[in-house]
């Protein structure tokens, strides 16, 4: 077998019909990953993957295996993996080998899933293009001169280029949904509090969530079922019962109220993106959904709130990289100078910019004007979403205002780069679940449709996404398109 099946569901059927084995799927994934041309991987764990595949095949033969058993997947290299180097794509963590695995990795291990390797990202997940990796940018498989989006660009591309059947990413302001949109796959950020962050390199702790990249909506729901749930190691996980997230997938959208925020169709949105999203809304309406206009008047201010809170939290979280207990140490004449040199040499430009911005926003004299002000506007943004969800069951928007842009195009203009996430970061500010699914092409490049739901209403979000997916042929793969 040289190609992988088109989805987790298809692979699981083949495994149960004995038409393939986990080892065969894993060899196919490894062989495609080793031939990767997009700088997707920071590490391939061949031996680890083959060992997991053999155990998975034994379990499949016994006949009591969960759906993800034997399925090859890719792990964003900001998620800790016991005994396997984890760098967050930063020079400061190069060589770091975690002594324990993140809870999300342990949960997938328990399902019998097969981790193939660690994917490239923007350093510490700070970026929207994957150009901020200390180990080189990831390229978009639809057009290698363009970015795949970020920060989870490697995870998006590992799925888009058919090198694995799913991948994990993290999303702080859009880092799963935006690269999913730009790379033409499904990418989902759960409600804040759904998924444990234990063992994940912390970025902005009031915003970060872990979630999946997949080819289909159903696959995303399957992975979420394995990830969701309380973890005693993470006090921010909600104590909710296990939930069947696929229960509403086939129900369709007839009678559902779909909110469209009037402020999201902004100046600067590419016409091809707007057209694809308007067409998607018409399709949902054709299926019987009621389209209702909602107002999220603070959308513009969301970017400002995000670019205060996120760097402020990051500047605190990244204080731990001091060259004492792990990672790089650049020794100076005294300890203070060792800290300064270690961090000066270990962090890349974008990380330094955000450390300075965050430290500034938290420093004496600016704390109230910036940090507390942003937290107050955060209250108002959450309240606007609450009011919107009183009028609708889901909110549908573009995921990103543009399709994939050229490598290098925005690298010296941080503000232009930050605008990539203007439609996704409100979901992080308010803690809401959101999924990006393919909704056609503009100028030959994928456009993403974002579907958001109220907190803990992932089943409704999946229901809308699945209804749209069934009616459209947008699951094309880049290589198949080129063929």
Partner 1 sequence: MPIDRQTVVHVADLARIALTDEEVERFTGQLSVVLDAVARLGEVDTSTIAPTASVLPLQDVQREDEPRPGLTTDQALANAPRGGRDGEFFRVQEVLEER
Residues in 324-363 at the binding interface with partner 1, rule: CB under 8 A = 324-329, 331, 334-341, 343-345, 347, 349, 352-353, 355-360, 363
Map the footprint of partner 1 across residues 192-211, applying CB under 8 A: 192-193, 206
Q: Which is nearer to partner 1, 97 or 250 (CB)?
A: 97
Q: Which is nearer to partner 1, 51 or 349 (CB)?
A: 349
Choice from 415, 473, 482, 483 touching partner 1 (CB under 8 A): 415
Is-contact 205 238, C-beta < 8 A? no
**CA–CA distance from 452 to each of 52, 282, 469 (Å)?**
35, 17, 15
Q: Which is nearer to partner 1, 98 or 179 (CB)?
A: 98
Burial class (CB in 10 A: 0-12, 13-18, 19+), 95: exposed
CA distance 206 to 197: 11
Of the candidates 233, 212, 228, the one whose C-alpha atom is nearest the C-alpha of residue 76 is 212
10 Å Cβ neighbour count for 341? 17
> To the nearest whole angstrom, how small is the minimum distance from the Cβ of residue 431 to partner 1?
4
Residue 439 is inside which H or E element, if any?
A: strand 434-442
CA distance 70 to 53: 6
Q: Which is nearer to partner 1, 54 or 301 (CB)?
A: 301
**CA–CA distance from 253 to each of 66, 215, 466, 468, 469 (Å)?**
29, 21, 9, 9, 12
What backbone phi and psi angles, to 5 degrees, belong to 139?
Answer: -105, 150
Would residue 82 show up in a list of annotated catalytic residues for this protein?
A: no
Binding mask 73-102 for partner 1 (x = CB under 8 A): ----------------------xxx-xx--
Q: Which is nearer to partner 1, 350 or 469 (CB)?
A: 350
Map the footprint of partner 1 across residues 267-326, applying CB under 8 A: 298, 300-301, 303-305, 307-308, 315, 319, 322-326
Using CB under 8 A as the binding criterion, the count of chain residues that bind partner 1 stands at: 72
Q: Out of 21, 76, 133, 410, which one is annotated catalytic?
A: 76
Binding mask 375-404 for partner 1 (x = CB under 8 A): xxxxxx-x----------------------
Sign of CA dihedral 153, 31, 118, 57: positive
Is-contact 189 172, C-beta < 8 A? no
> To the nearest whole angstrom, how small is the minimum distance from the Cβ of residue 319 to partner 1?
8
Map the footprint of partner 1 across residues 452-471, applying CB under 8 A: 455
Would residue 76 show up in a list of annotated catalytic residues for this protein?
A: yes
Q: Out of 22, 128, 133, 151, which one is annotated catalytic?
A: 151
CA distance 224 to 175: 17
Would residue 315 show up in a list of annotated catalytic residues for this protein?
A: no
Q: Which is nearer to partner 1, 3 or 380 (CB)?
A: 380
Does position 136 interact with partner 1 (CB under 8 A)? The reply is: no
Of the candidates 276, 295, 299, the one whose C-alpha atom is nearest the C-alpha of residue 389 is 295
> To the nearest whole angstrom, how small is the minimum distance from the Cβ of residue 356 to partner 1?
5
Residues carrying an active site annotation: 76, 151, 175
């Amino acid at each position: 077998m040289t190609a992988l099946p088109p989805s987790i569901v298809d692979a699981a059927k083949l495994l149960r019909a004995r038409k393939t084995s986990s080892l065969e799927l894993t060899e196919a994934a490894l062989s495609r990953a080793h031939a990767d041309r997009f700088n997707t991987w920071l590490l391939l764990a061949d031996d680890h993957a083959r060992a997991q595949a053999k155990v998975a095949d034994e379990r499949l033969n016994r006949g009591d295996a969960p759906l993800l058993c034997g399925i090859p997947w890719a792990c964003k290299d900001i998620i800790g993996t016991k005994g396997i180097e984890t760098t967050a794509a930063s020079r400061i963590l190069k060589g770091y080998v975690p002594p324990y695995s993140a809870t999300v990795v342990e949960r997938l291990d328990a399902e019998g899933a097969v981790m193939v390797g660690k994917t490239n990202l923007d350093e510490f997940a700070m970026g929207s293009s994957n150009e901020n990796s200390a180990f080189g940018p990831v390229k978009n498989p639809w057009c290698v001169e363009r970015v795949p989006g970020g920060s989870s660009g490697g995870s998006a591309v590992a799925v888009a280029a058919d090198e694995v059947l799913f991948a994990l990413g993290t999303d702080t302001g859009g880092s799963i949904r935006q690269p999913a949109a730009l790379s033409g796959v499904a990418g989902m950020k759960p409600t804040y509090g759904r998924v444990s962050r234990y063992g994940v390199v912390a970025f902005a702790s009031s915003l970060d969530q872990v979630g999946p990249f997949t080819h289909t909506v159903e696959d995303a729901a399957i992975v979420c079922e394995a990830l969701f749930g309380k973890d005693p190691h993470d006090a921010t996980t909600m104590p909710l019962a296990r939930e069947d997230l696929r229960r509403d997938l086939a129900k369709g959208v007839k009678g559902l109220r779909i909110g469209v925020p009037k402020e999201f169709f902004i100046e600067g949105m590419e016409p091809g993106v707007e057209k694809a999203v308007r067409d998607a809304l018409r399709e949902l309406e054709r299926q019987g959904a009621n389209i209702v206009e909602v107002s999220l008047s603070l959308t513009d201010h969301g970017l400002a709130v995000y670019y205060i809170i996120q760097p402020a939290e990051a500047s605190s979280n990244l204080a731990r990289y001091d060259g004492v207990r792990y990672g790089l140490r650049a020794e100076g004449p005294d300890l203070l100078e060792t800290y300064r040199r270690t961090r000066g040499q270990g962090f890349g430009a974008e990380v330094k910019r955000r450390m300075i911005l965050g430290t500034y926003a938290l420093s004496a004299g600016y704390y109230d004007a910036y940090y507390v002000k942003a937290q107050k506007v955060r209250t108002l943004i959450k309240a606007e979403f609450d009011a919107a969800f009183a009028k609708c069951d889901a909110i549908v928007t573009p995921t990103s205002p543009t399709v994939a842009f050229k490598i290098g195009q925005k690298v010296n203009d941080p503000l232009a780069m930050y605008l990539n996430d203007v439609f996704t970061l409100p979901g992080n500010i308010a803690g809401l679940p959101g999924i990006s699914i393919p909704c056609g092409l503009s100028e030959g490049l994928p456009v993403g449709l974002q579907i958001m739901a109220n907190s803990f209403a992932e089943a409704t979000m999946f229901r809308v996404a699945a209804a749209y997916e069934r009616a459209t042929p947008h699951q094309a793969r880049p290589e198949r398109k080129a063929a």
